[in-house]
Amino acid sequence: MIHADTAAGIEIRRKAFLRKRRLKCRAVADSLGDAGDRLFSFARLDPTQWKSARTPTR
């Protein structure tokens, strides 16, 4: 999901994951559903900044 090129791409991948995993990994799917957009807050930034926002700096 985090490697999608657009915010819309993230949402498409997130929904697909939830559809596929809801039955086998209910706790994970519920957690992802509850966290929603907070997990992908970097998507509000300019796409050129996504990589640096997703990865820790050392």
Q: Is 1 domain-assigned?
A: no
Q: Is 46 domain-assigned?
A: yes
- Output the pLDDT for position 57: 64
Q: Is 23 domain-assigned?
A: yes
Round to whole Å and give the CA distance between 4 and 16: 13
- Output the pLDDT for position 58: 58
The dihedral sign for the CA sequence 34, 43, 49, 5 = positive
- Output the pLDDT for position 12: 92
Answer yes or no: are the C-beta atoms of 9 and 21 closer than 8 Å. Answer: no
Q: Is 49 domain-assigned?
A: yes
Domain that includes residue 44, residue range: 7-54
- For 1-58, the pLDDT digits (tens) are 878 888 899 889 988 988 888 888 889 888 888 887 788 878 888 888 877 777 766 5
Give the count of domains, the chain: 1
Answer yes or no: are the C-beta atoms of 40 and 6 closer than 8 Å. Answer: no
